Amino acid sequence: MRPIMPVEEFSGSFRPKGRRSPTEGSISMNKLRYLALLAAVAVVSCVTINIYFPAEEVRGAADKIVNEVWGERAGEAVPAEPPQGEPSSFLRLGPATAYAAQDINVSTPEIRALREAMKARATALFPYLDGGQVGVGHDGLLKLRTIDGLDLKSRGEATRLVEAENSDRQRLYGEIARANGFPDQAAEVQAVFAESWRAQAAPGWLLEDESGGWTKK
Instruction: Write the pLDDT tens digit of every residue in 129-173.
Output: 999 999 999 999 999 999 998 999 999 999 999 999 999 999 999
pLDDT at 94: 40
Q: Is residue 143 situated within a structural domain?
A: yes
pLDDT of residue 103: 74
Distance CA 204, CA 217 (A): 5
What is the structure's pLDDT at 30? 63
Q: Is 207 helix (H, G, I), strand (E, B) or coil?
A: strand
Confirm whether 3 is domain-assigned.
no
Confidence of residue 197 (pLDDT cuts 50, 70, 90): very high
Decide: pTM greater than 0.75. Answer: no
Q: Which of 40, 58, 41 is nearest to 186 (CA)?
A: 58
Provide the domain limits for residue 132: 61-74+104-216
Percent of the residues in the chain that have a pLDDT greater than 70, as a whole number: 64
Q: With 90 as the cut, is the pLDDT of residue 118 above it? A: yes
In a domain, 209, yes or no: yes
> What residues contact 70, with CB distance under 8 A and at least 6 apart?
122, 200, 202
Beta strands in 118-168 (DSSP E): 134-136, 142-144
206, β-bridge pairs: 216
Report which DSSP code applies to 163.
Answer: H
90 part of a folded domain = no
CA distance 124 to 100: 42
- How far apart (Å, rounded) are the C-alpha atoms in residues 217 and 215? 6
- For residue 37, what pLDDT is reported? 64
Q: What is the pLDDT of residue 62?
A: 97
Q: Nearest CA to 122 among 114, 34, 88?
A: 114
How much is the pLDDT for 4?
Answer: 55
Q: Residue 53 domain-assigned?
A: no
Angle between helices 109-131 and 55-70 (to 10 degrees): 60
pLDDT at 125 over 80: yes
CA distance 81 to 87: 11
Q: Does residue 26 lie in a domain region?
A: no
Domains: count for the chain = 1
If you average pLDDT over every residue of the chain, what do you get? 79
Mean pLDDT of 197-201: 97
Summarised one tens digit per residue, pLDDT across range 16-66 is 555 555 555 555 666 666 566 665 555 444 444 445 789 999 999 999 999
Question: In the prediction, which pLDDT does 1 show?
Answer: 54
Residue 81 lies in a domain: no
In 13-151, which residue ranges form alpha helices assigned H by DSSP? 22-45, 55-70, 109-131
pLDDT of residue 61: 95
94 domain residue, yes or no? no
Report DSSP state, residue 189: H
